[in-house]
Structure 1
């Protein structure tokens, strides 16, 4: 099957143009450097050492959070990120406490220890970003379209690892941190899972099956968390973080990848800051995209709530 990645070719249910205005770069009204977060404001980011998690962490630092717990599997990556956070804090003239925790979201004990360290240091968490994620390993022989991503269930031999990181990892993080989010009553109590607009696709050369299934399930997981823990104040969001060149995507081959992976690497972080700087119950349990215009999104509030939009449903 030939792949057509053009924006015009995407079906409406992908939600690409849910707001008429589409952003690939940070618009001024959500620039984190122009935001001042409440104090205290504690943020935890998994998969923070590289890619989107790195830039999401910097966005919260730029917005003046009081504490950042950064987690990844590589200590040296965390050291480099902590150094950049320190520079941002110095430039702002503020203090940001940084907690570095080496943790693998595939490990129950690592995730439990991350929660324990955050609880001991601050006794609260305002925003939990379940960002750690991977895509299936490349295949040796590209398809006729030039894609080096595995096509179909037979080629996608990376199923177990991808599901354990992208889905079970989000489940482990959610299970560990929902109680602390529930206790942090004076904050946004926000859980954000990194999902993907690409999960709407059933073309496996674009989204390998393991990745697709993990992200679809992650969206439903956020809906369930919102339903089950909303009365405790917990909000949960499934975030499309844009189409970005990251360590996971930089070696994608074939097709129009250079045109697709064109979003600003800082856009997702800026959107996260906007999403969580205050309570937004009307968006909790839903899919959101960092490419959307927030003013136009807010104008759709009544429509979203009345129609129960931005959730997975079967068309019958």
Structure 2
């Protein structure tokens, strides 16, 4: 009896918005391309002590010749390792590591003030810090661990963004980008993720508000795919789908921080999608409801009536 062969790319294909899709860095998002240079820019990265923050965003912006990286994270040891990697890749990129918890408002405000004083006003914020505290059913999850996920993923993003906006101003003098790292989990009802999934959906909506309130800042929801991080490995049923590299997220973030990407502001963007195809559809994306979270259905119309007045 023949057995069906499992396709490890099936999750990528299911959510594909472009014809071509990738699971690793490709030429258009190669951070070493001169066209994607981040020369002169100060980049803030939360959750920079490990995973995608370390091996994706920090490493890629160093390769793109960023003037300075501000690395924020809870682990001093992890930040030291990230700093070592950045220095090894590009000694000319200044690095400031600040151990801080994203949920600590006073600590984050002080971190931003210190960094701006030493390095100047930032042009890019990557809200990467996030956590899946516990994978379980609603009835078996304790309130404290369920809410802690909201605190880190939602409150942490809010605190970092508010601190960033304070320093860049209402209308930044230089092109400015906010990248909020979300998840494919925000779109469905993945087993055991009653806390994590809604938290990422909340961040997605928060990004839409950023785009509306700050139209001169490009604010994007970035889905990194399924990367071999500690978080991904904590979800047993994700194992067959892991395969997207942290460098793909990093290169894509560099691309988002280059040129005019305002057509993606307030939108959802999966790193596997081909950016050249997206650009070819920019007017369609910008003018419609594509790549936004909304209620599905057919609403309104000339036949609608209202009674009971």
Which of 102, 108, 111 aligns to 1:111? It is 108
In structure 1, runs of 5+ residues without a counterpart are 138-148
Q: Distance in 1 between matches of 2:39 and 2:47?
A: 24
Q: Distance in 2 between matches of 1:23 and 1:9?
A: 12
The alignment status of 1:248 with 2:231, answered yes or no, reads yes
> C-alpha displacement at 1:229, in angstroms?
1.3
The alignment status of 1:219 with 2:198, answered yes or no, reads no
- Superposed counterparts of 1:144-155, under 5 Å: 149-151=135-137, 153-155=138-140
Which of 234, 252, 275 aligns to 2:217? It is 234
What's the counterpart of residue 142 of structure 1? none
2:285 match: secondary structure: helix
Provide the TM-score with structure 2 as the length reference.
0.87
Contact 1:125–1:184 (Cα < 8 Å) also in 2: no
Residues 78 and 263 of structure 1, relative CA distance in 2, 3 Å threshold: same
2:139 match: secondary structure: helix
> C-alpha displacement at 1:113, in angstroms?
1.2
> C-alpha displacement at 1:185, in angstroms?
3.3
CA-to-partner distance for each residue in 1:226-281, whole Å, 9 max, x for gaps? Answer: 10111xx222111101101112222332x4x3321111121101100001122311
Larger Rg: 2
What's the counterpart of residue 266 of structure 2? 285
Provide the TM-score with structure 1 as the length reference.
0.85
Residues 219 and 5 of structure 1, relative CA distance in 2, 3 Å threshold: farther
> C-alpha displacement at 1:184, in angstroms?
7.8
Quote the RMSD (CA, aligned, Å): 2.1
What's the counterpart of residue 194 of structure 1? 181
Contact 1:124–1:183 (Cα < 8 Å) also in 2: no
Aligned residues: 288
In structure 2, runs of 5+ residues without a counterpart are 1-5, 298-309
Residues 10 and 261 of structure 1, relative CA distance in 2, 3 Å threshold: closer
